Chain A
Amino acid sequence: RKEVEQDPGPFNVPEGATVAFNCTYSNSASQSFFWYRQDCRKEPKLLMSVYSSGNEDGRFTAQLNRASQYISLLIRDSKLSDSATYLCVVNLGSNTGKLIFGQGTTLQVKP
């Protein structure tokens, strides 16, 4: 079983739609959580951290459920520019500070 699992998609949605991505992680000792965005042939860039209390950044809302080991990302009023791959990322909190990445979920927003 992969340490971080995501549905690779692709998710094809019209502009203005709301879309949700989910992710599960296997290690209950995981301590911090992130969503990264990656554009085609570019490096991953931090989109937002994820907290148990849930956090929102404009049209983006992230949620963590530690009991279910489940992370979500909600994008409201999607824009063409949101088209990218979204990577779910977990930090085990070990001395290494190593991040474990999911496969990524591809989003394509259509006009």
Chain B
Amino acid sequence: DTGVSQDPRHKITKRGQNVTFRCDPISEHNRLYWYRQTLGQGPEFLTYFQNEAQLEKSRLLSDRFSAERPKGSFSTLEIQRTEQGDSAMYLCASPGQGNYGYTFGSGTRLTVV
């Protein structure tokens, strides 16, 4: 149990469909991060929230992507009109205290066919 929960663990979708992922971070952590990881690469930053405010978005986050954190607790990441290039592991993270890095959720593995 990492303390960060993500749902679903796996998602297979047809190209052009919309998908939504959910992240429940460690409770009472104000910040929440979304990353994407493709095969053979390290995780790449997508966006982050401070409470309910989305404060930074990567250029990787095209206009087909939208993220929300409506009550400053859980977050959702939606991808509209999925493309095969969206196939990746989508990771959510809560920051640690001080100099202790992040705790990641188990991720949602998306396959677009």
Contacts and interface: CB of A to CB of B under 8 A. Distances in A.
Given A42-B106, A98-B48, A104 B56 contact: no
Contacts of A96: 48, 55-56
A74 B104 CA distance: 24
B48 A44 contact: no
Q: How large is the interface on A (under 10, 10 to 19, 20 to 34, 35 or more residues)?
A: 20 to 34
A44 B99 contact: no
Contact of B43 (A34, A42, A101): A101
Contact of B105 (A43, A49, A98): A43
A101 B101 contact: no
A69 interface: no
Nearest to A91: B101
Closest 5 CB pairs of A and B: A101-B42, A43-B104, A46-B101, A34-B101, A101-B43
A32 B48 contact: no
Interface in B84-113: 91, 95-96, 99-107, 109
